[in-house]
Amino acid sequence: MSRFCANLTMLFTEYPLLERPMEAAKAGFSGVEILFPYDVNAAELGSALARAKMPLALINCPPPNYADPDGPRGFAAVVGEEDRFKQSFRRTIRYAGALGAEHVHIMAGVAKGPAARACFVENLKWAAAFAPKQSLTIEPINTHDMPGYFLNSFDLALEVLDEVDAPNLNLQFDAYHASRIEGDILGVWDKVRHKAAHIQVGGVPDRHEPEGGDFNYPSFFKLLEKNKYSGWISGEYHPAGRTEENLSWIS
């Protein structure tokens, strides 16, 4: 049985963040993810999640000033920012513990070259050892949406996961990004599904609701059940209208 969660950073934005968990519950979601919850008091957010009886599937490990549109998009692969990464990660783990977040996504940031790769691997090894009971993920992101992002290849992600070799570090598979990066969502999924701990979906090519468009999501969801995938499937997309107007994809 598929477990669908709502990305509250993108969905239900018609409401204040603390009201979104309840709206997601009313709409039929079983859980939520919040990319960057750090501007909200953790106790208040925890209470909002508890009132809605919504588990928190995932949060991101960000730079403190992610709200800055020109700010960095993570720095786990940025040489010279190792101390900053560790400080940010410690903060994220405190939030994850307070909110019961199942996964923490570690963002690589804008970087390139062998030194960045080595930095990324070492930071991930440190993070996995620092929080051995916390599930961690890395996610390939296409460079059209995020220019210069270091982890922009699924092959590279598999290489990094093998090199880090930590039981609590796995892949975050975003179908929209897979389409943008390789143009073949099913082919990429078949290649990486043994490492996938969390899935995100959005329409192709417009990143609206995951239905119609260039990819058959109902068939993909059936394939996930056939593959015995038991993790979350998160709607991470920009609604074409109000969020509640089109949620048929989760039914």
pLDDT (tens digit, 9 = 90+) per residue, 15-66?
Answer: 999 999 999 999 999 999 999 999 899 999 999 999 999 999 999 997 656 5
What confidence score (pLDDT) does residue 161 get? 98
Contact predicate 55/31, CB 8 Å:
yes
What confidence score (pLDDT) does residue 251 get? 85
Paired tokens of 11: 């969905």
Contact predicate 93/68, CB 8 Å:
no
Amino acid letter for position 182: E
Q: Which of 23, 81, 102, 139 is catalytic?
A: 139
CATH number of 3-250: 3.20.20.150
- What are the pLDDT digits (tens) for 170-205? 999 999 999 999 999 999 999 999 999 999 999 999
Q: Is pLDDT above 90 for 210?
A: yes
Q: Of 112, 118, 213, 115, give the one whose Cα is nearest residue 153.
A: 112
SS3 151: coil
Confidence of residue 213 (pLDDT cuts 50, 70, 90): confident
**Residue 1: alpha-carbon gap to chain centroid:** 21
How far lies 240's CA from each of 142, 202, 243, in Å? 21, 11, 8
Query: How far apart (Å, rounded) are the C-alpha atoms in residues 49 and 30?
Result: 11
Instruction: Encode 49-75: b = buried (16+ Cβ within 10 Å), e = exposed.
Output: beebebbbbbbbbbbeebeeeeebbbb
Average pLDDT, the chain: 95
Contact predicate 77/125, CB 8 Å:
no
Q: Which of 23, 81, 102, 236 is catalytic?
A: 236
Annotated active-site residue 236? The verdict is yes
Element (H, E) at 154: helix 154-164
For the chain, the structural domain boundaries read: 3-250
245 class by beta-carbon count within 10 Å (0-12 exposed, 13-18 middle, 19+ buried):
exposed
Annotated active-site residue 163? The verdict is no
